[in-house]
Structure 1
Amino acid sequence: MPGSWRDADLVRELTLPLALVSAYASLGGATYGWDANYWSGLLGMTQFCKDFGVFNQAADAWEIPSSWQSAGSGAPQAAIACGCLVAGLIGDKFGRIKTFMIASIIAIIGIIIQASAFSYWQILVGRMVNGVSMGIICNAVPIYQAECAPAKIRGSLVNAYQFWLLVGGTMAVTVNYCLYTRVDQWAYRVVIILQFLIPIVMLIGVFVLPESPRWLIKKGRRDDAAKVLQLLRRGTPAAVIEEEVNLLAAAEDEQERNFHASTWLDCFRGTNLRRTAIATGVQCLQQAQGNSFIINYSITFLQQIGITDSYKILCLLYFVNCLSSAFAFYFSDKIGRRPLLFGGALICGISMFSVAGVTGYDEGNQQSLKGALAALFLWQFTQALTWASCVWIVTSEVSTLHLREKTITIATFSGFCIGVLVTFINPFMQGAPGNLAGRVGFIYAAFSIAAAAWTAFMLPEMKGRSLEELDELFDKKVGVWAFGKYKTEGWGKMLRDIEDETGKNIMEGVEVHGSEAEREGEKGLREKNVVEV
């Protein structure tokens, strides 16, 4: 039936093994979300401030000084940036699955250090160790998902990483909300200890997760790649899998023959420079719009603008985040990355301008606070649907296979360096000596408007294209506005055709379309077309 739900790309292309593999790999995002978001709750928690902070005689209260907040939030961001560099060094050599294993072990060590801490600085060391793990994960997981996914649902599968990141953050702030009124160490220690569950589960899973088929082909292991694709594309004929492997190998050989790109400097040469600039741009602009500010200082920000039940409000904000990110599973591939990022930046800018204007110049007015909260909820909903989700999709798909780890390493390292800058500087802008309080939102709003302009002129639409098609589009220097309409004709186009055929087979529950002779004729025609190209 035309136009029915069965015609949706996600329904046609998604198999149970592919869904499970993508979801399990995304658990690494939950570790990141948990660690980043439990911290903001601790900074505003009375018992934590009493046990780990200093007494402010002027305010007659225990507090974490601005300089300590800056170090406690900024140093782990720096560790994440270092983890991104580590991922670039080990990802290509050891593969995606062994990289997951290394990251999980590092995370467990970091959590042990945090859970056993009786000083602020020991917690900081533990968060820095865990930060290295998160830097590795935020590189390895989106790459793995993108390399396993069919072109038409790549955005949906990569979005699973961001969705689980938000789920992890939501669980952390919920635990904080349930315990923050306690007057003993368990007010804050429970949320630290519960982190153990995620990396332990992920560590168990690495023994059953299949390796990335594209990484296997890059390493010359075609038979292993075929087995993985047979698992992920369950119900697809062996002949179709064999043809897909051959095309992937041919595309890999062509890239290696034509460009020989494999060094860090190659990321900044020729057409790769444009790809590196796009990946780096989305990462940096997401952080510049206030992502790190919201993650690390949301509780203190809500308290400063006069919200009394800040922990409850933060829980609601994160539930909104999860709901919004769930919509991104559909819209990232249906609408596309470019419209979502452009529209999202505009709405985030308007929302943050509203928060800053209302709270900065009309403090204490209850109606103004309600307006500020509404704008903040709109910012969270929009950011989770657009920039938070699409930034990982774009970063994972824009680079060529030979330089994928290196390009993503440069992009994420640059983005987290901006995050470090934000987390180190924000306490001094928001509190003393800047004392901007809610007016700090004007700065992040301005960057949102800049992000919208950057998206309009720099970011091409990549939805529905195979990774090998994107190689062709960038190599031919297709312009930003022509990307979506350009007709490709090389290996990538053939791979997408095969994926489309596979999706139909899966949906219709059949093994083959047509006779063996017809299939061999179609295969020969594709091979002939490639030779002519």
Structure 2
Amino acid sequence: MYQIGNIYGITAIAVIGGGLFGFDISSMSAILPTQQYRCYFNQGPEGPPFTDSTDCSGPNANVQGGITAAMPGGSFLGALVSGYLTDKLGRKRAIQIGCMIWIIGSIISCASQNIGMLIVGRFINGLSVGICSAQVPVYVSELAPPSKRGRVVGSQQWAITWGILIMYYVSYGCTFLDGPTAFRVPWALQMIPAIILAIGLLFLPESPRWLARHDRWEETQAVLTLVHGKGDPHSPFVKLEMDEIKQMIEFERQNADVSVTELFRPRMLNRLHIGIFTQVWSQLTGMNVMMYYITYVFGMAGLSGNANLISSSIQYVINVFMTIPALLFMDRWGRRPMFVIGAVFMAIWMFTNAGLMASYGHPAPPGGLNNIAEQSWEITGAPSKAVIACTYLFVASYAPTWGPASWVYPPEVFPLRVRGKAVALTTSSNWIFNFALSYFVPPAFVSIKWKVYIVFGVFCTAMAIHTFFAFPETAGKTLEDVEEMFLAGVPAWKTKVDYSNTRRAEKGVLDPEKAAHFEQSPERRENAEMKA
């Protein structure tokens, strides 16, 4: 069967798996404030089934938190399971299984007759998102050349932003339909990207590192030739990649136990802590809260109806276009600046919003604004415009920094022998925190109101400090070079990008021996020179 060899073509298909998460986020955020949704799943005096009444209060804060959190709850389990699936069946097959699960979950959500059925459908959707979000970055990172790895793996985040944007406008358009059709149609349309992804994967190669791990060396050589050698099996860079993969696998088999318990041994524990906190901090930025509940936030700022939905959509547009600079330049910038600088700016906007809400806002009437309890605080006039502006600036700070970098980084820090299981575990930590935030934020808006912004501002400050001192630079290094960097124990703040030397090796400018030396990271060369 024909296989796509261009890394950008491979990425364009694979990262549709990230788009599934985006579709889920905005299909919920656009529908939450609509009369059709709130009346059909009403828990107020009138209750279900659907009614045209304008007094429907919808699910209460705790139940709505449970509905929203069902998806990340399923994603937590899916991410954990994905480690076993990907190691046994391969990266491609695991993602295809995720596609099938997504279609099943979308059918159940679309057909939901009550809150319980909706929660089940979203939980099943979450299983799929957990598998795809954990294994798509692993798959793409193992195929990408070092100088493009950040760009192509970061495309997962870009696919998420496109999924959010497209589905938001589809859902917004459907709000003009009558009755349950307003939410059934967008939840049914969620199946389309999963079908495209499942078919597209048939034309993609398997990860060469997974093939090598299963002693399928001829296929490994063929994939590297296809993707990195442009059809030339004698390409210097293909030889370099083959030699490094062989050496690393031989080393692992002679010196390492490949059980999941290795992740908790002293030599690997630091990397596990880094991988887990990359995903945990990405949630504690508060970005996904803004994605799910932006209509609540803008409702407190005085927007309602179509004005709220349209204004909320602007942040999704910002999210899409501000991710582009990271895709173009993150392999030159490095991961560390993206983590530290992004966290500092996000903290600024969160604390600014908290100050505006505290200084110029006041409690909403009993029951909340527009009969929505979560909108329990109100701010009007010029300060409300400033809150909206700071929200947009927060998104513009997240999109080119933590958004793509948090997906790129975890697959880079782990060796091949445990990469599938390790990334599954780190991604599951993302989803368990997503679950917690999705569930507790609606009640938090009711109980502590504007202080929610302070909580996330403190988190952003803490992550800026933590990433500066604990997260080493992985940009511009082969995955095997990253392994040597950790083994050498180089302090995180002394690591740096080695983009230009890696590009020389990829282009075969040097002979193989010199290219191998050039391809080594600065830390690896310094370590070798010290030993000499």
Shorter chain as denominator, the TM-score bin is 0.7 to 0.9
Partner of 2:464: 452
Partner of 1:440: 452
State the 1:136 CA deviation: 0.2
Amino acid at match of 1:250: Q
Partner of 2:320: 322
SS of alignment partner, residue 203 of structure 2: coil
Partner of 1:229: 224
Deviations 1:453-477, CA, capped at 9 Å, x for gaps:
1111111111101000011011111
State the 1:297 CA deviation: 1.5
The answer on whether the counterparts of 2:109 and 2:118 sit within 8 Å (CA) in structure 1 is: yes
The answer on whether the counterparts of 1:170 and 1:318 sit within 8 Å (CA) in structure 2 is: yes
Among 351, 354, 373, the residue aligned to 2:352:
354
Partner of 1:31: 20
Partner of 2:279: 283
Partner of 1:469: 481
Partner of 1:5: none
Q: Distance in 2 between matches of 1:199 and 1:253?
A: 37
Partner of 2:6: 17
Partner of 1:252: 249
Q: Distance in 1 between matches of 2:29 and 2:352?
A: 23
Are the structure 2 counterparts of residues 305 and 470 from structure 1 closer, same or farther at C-alpha, using a change threshold of 3 Å?
same
SS of alignment partner, residue 43 of structure 1: coil
Are the structure 2 counterparts of residues 387 and 200 from structure 1 closer, same or farther at C-alpha, using a change threshold of 3 Å?
same
Q: Distance in 2 between matches of 1:157 and 1:524?
A: 23
Are the structure 2 counterparts of residues 394 and 184 from structure 1 closer, same or farther at C-alpha, using a change threshold of 3 Å?
same
Say whether residues 1:418 and 2:433 are aligned partners: yes
Runs of 5+ unmatched residues, structure 2: 47-53, 362-378, 519-524
Q: Distance in 2 between matches of 1:121 and 1:475?
A: 49
Say whether residues 1:185 and 2:200 are aligned partners: no
SS of alignment partner, residue 393 of structure 2: helix
SS of alignment partner, residue 44 of structure 2: strand
The answer on whether the counterparts of 2:91 and 2:207 sit within 8 Å (CA) in structure 1 is: yes
Runs of 5+ unmatched residues, structure 1: 1-14, 487-492, 506-512, 514-518
State the 1:251 CA deviation: 2.0
Q: Distance in 2 between matches of 1:372 and 1:392?
A: 29
Q: Distance in 2 between matches of 1:338 and 1:238?
A: 35
SS of alignment partner, residue 239 of structure 1: coil
The answer on whether the counterparts of 1:36 and 1:295 sit within 8 Å (CA) in structure 2 is: yes
Are the structure 2 counterparts of residues 483 and 243 from structure 1 closer, same or farther at C-alpha, using a change threshold of 3 Å?
closer
Q: Distance in 2 between matches of 1:215 and 1:121?
A: 40
Report the TM-score, using the length of structure 2 for normalisation.
0.87
The answer on whether the counterparts of 2:108 and 2:118 sit within 8 Å (CA) in structure 1 is: yes
State the 1:503 CA deviation: 3.0
Among 80, 95, 108, the residue aligned to 2:90:
95
Moved over 6 A (4+): 496-499, 520-526
Q: Distance in 2 between matches of 1:499 and 1:262?
A: 32
Q: Distance in 1 between matches of 2:345 and 2:239?
A: 46
Q: Distance in 1 between matches of 2:69 and 2:209?
A: 35
Amino acid at match of 1:354: T
State the 1:38 CA deviation: 1.2
SS of alignment partner, residue 481 of structure 1: helix
- The correspondence of residues 38-117 of structure 1 with structure 2, limited to 5 A, is 38-55=27-44, 60-117=55-112
Q: Distance in 2 between matches of 1:520 and 1:18?
A: 23
Q: Distance in 2 between matches of 1:295 and 1:367?
A: 24
State the 1:242 CA deviation: 4.1
- The correspondence of residues 113-512 of structure 1 with structure 2, limited to 5 A, is 113-235=108-230, 237-240=232-235, 241-258=238-255, 260-308=256-304, 309-363=307-361, 364-431=379-446, 434=447, 436-484=448-496, 500-503=504-507
Q: Distance in 2 between matches of 1:98 and 1:40?
A: 31
Q: Distance in 2 between matches of 1:478 and 1:255?
A: 21
Are the structure 2 counterparts of residues 523 and 371 from structure 1 closer, same or farther at C-alpha, using a change threshold of 3 Å?
closer
State the 1:56 CA deviation: 5.3
Amino acid at match of 1:119: N
The answer on whether the counterparts of 2:147 and 2:502 sit within 8 Å (CA) in structure 1 is: no
Q: Distance in 1 between matches of 2:120 and 2:516?
A: 59
Percent identity reads 26
Q: Distance in 2 between matches of 1:525 and 1:314?
A: 51
The answer on whether the counterparts of 2:5 and 2:226 sit within 8 Å (CA) in structure 1 is: no
Q: Distance in 2 between matches of 1:203 and 1:524?
A: 37
Amino acid at match of 1:226: Q
Are the structure 2 counterparts of residues 498 and 451 from structure 1 closer, same or farther at C-alpha, using a change threshold of 3 Å?
closer
SS of alignment partner, residue 437 of structure 1: coil
SS of alignment partner, residue 460 of structure 1: coil
Q: Distance in 2 between matches of 1:249 and 1:114?
A: 46
State the 1:47 CA deviation: 0.9
Q: Distance in 2 between matches of 1:520 and 1:497?
A: 13
The answer on whether the counterparts of 2:6 and 2:227 sit within 8 Å (CA) in structure 1 is: yes
SS of alignment partner, residue 57 of structure 2: strand
Task: Tell me the C-alpha RMSD between the 2 structures.
Answer: 2.5
Q: Distance in 2 between matches of 1:429 and 1:522?
A: 58
The answer on whether the counterparts of 2:301 and 2:385 sit within 8 Å (CA) in structure 1 is: no
Bigger mean CA deviation after superposition, 312-321 or 302-311? 302-311
State the 1:243 CA deviation: 4.7
SS of alignment partner, residue 331 of structure 1: helix
Deviations 1:145-182, CA, capped at 9 Å, x for gaps:
11011111110010111100110011111112223243
Bigger mean CA deviation after superposition, 91-100 or 34-43? 34-43
Are the structure 2 counterparts of residues 525 and 192 from structure 1 closer, same or farther at C-alpha, using a change threshold of 3 Å?
closer
Q: Distance in 1 between matches of 2:516 and 2:321?
A: 47
Amino acid at match of 2:261: L
Are the structure 2 counterparts of residues 367 and 469 from structure 1 closer, same or farther at C-alpha, using a change threshold of 3 Å?
same
State the 1:429 CA deviation: 1.0
Report the TM-score, using the length of structure 1 for normalisation.
0.87
